[in-house]
Amino acid sequence: MGKFEVMDHPLIQHKLTMIRDKNVGTKFFRETVKEISTLMAYEVARDMPLKDVEVETPIAKTTKKELAGKKVAIIPILRAGLGMVDGMTDLIPAAKIGFIGMYRDEETLKPHEYFVKLPNDITERQLFIVDPMLATGGSAMMAIEALKKRGCSEKNMKFACLVAAPEGVKAVREAYPDVDIYAAGLDDHLNKDGYIVPGLGDAGDRLFGTK
């Protein structure tokens, strides 16, 4: 079973609380999502494998650690996932970026896929799928399925979001038990319109100033 981790670092909690405020403008919202994403990248990368390498310091030769294993691809679920990419590449600058375009039908709450563009070597990479909101879980599950259809393994997938609803976490974990899930906050429930309560509203609209 993959892990489900709520990141309780004080800086993450503080910044998440700031962007929940409905009076916060687009610029501040976007900058803070980026900052939270950088902090989350640090935690999501915590179990990346290391290998021994020799290095010669100005004083002596020594054997120390460097990253081994799979290289990373960050996969934002469009649109809102885009807001988390730059924060993550600040820490993992060589990551390749793949895109999965998806929107949720406002009536049915079912996701619709409209775009997929992935690096050629996607099946060889450790995948960080990013989307600020995990609500019903429909979009996350369709993104995971799109990656599996192209040969990616669940075991190589980590899903990172800012706010998760218990309903979405349960759905994704039941359908894809090997995918690790990381959330900056776990909220109470979904309302009848499929919004996370208390949540932070529509993440895409708040990031890009649309409404």
Return residues touching ligand PRP (CB under 6 A).
77, 79-80, 102-104, 109, 111, 131-140, 168, 194, 202-204
26 close to 209: Cβ distance less than 8 angstroms: yes
CB of 203 to ligand PRP, least distance (A): 5
Task: State yes or no: residue 135 binds ligand URA (CB under 6 A).
Answer: yes
To the question of whether residue 132 is assigned a binding role by annotation, the answer is: yes
Phi, psi at 51, each rounded to 5°? -135, 160
* From ligand URA, ligand PRP, none, interface partner of 67 (C-beta below 5 to 8 A by class): none
Among 39, 75, 102, 133, binds ligand URA (CB under 6 A): 133
Identity of the residue, 39 or 203, whose beta carbon is nearer to ligand URA in the bound complex:
203
To the question of whether residue 180 is assigned a binding role by annotation, the answer is: no
Task: State yes or no: residue 74 binds ligand URA (CB under 6 A).
Answer: no
Report the catalytic residues: 104, 108, 202, 205
**Cα dist. 59→17, 55, 56 in Å?**
47, 11, 8
Task: State yes or no: residue 103 binds ligand URA (CB under 6 A).
Answer: no
Among 86, 113, 154, 202, binds ligand URA (CB under 6 A): 202
Task: State yes or no: residue 203 binds ligand URA (CB under 6 A).
Answer: yes
Task: State yes or no: residue 142 binds ligand URA (CB under 6 A).
Answer: no
- Kindly list the residues in this chain that would bind ligand URA in the complex (CB under 6 A): 133, 135, 194-196, 199, 202-204
| Residue list for the binding site for uracil | 196, 201-203
| Residue list for the binding site | 79, 104, 131-139, 196, 201-203
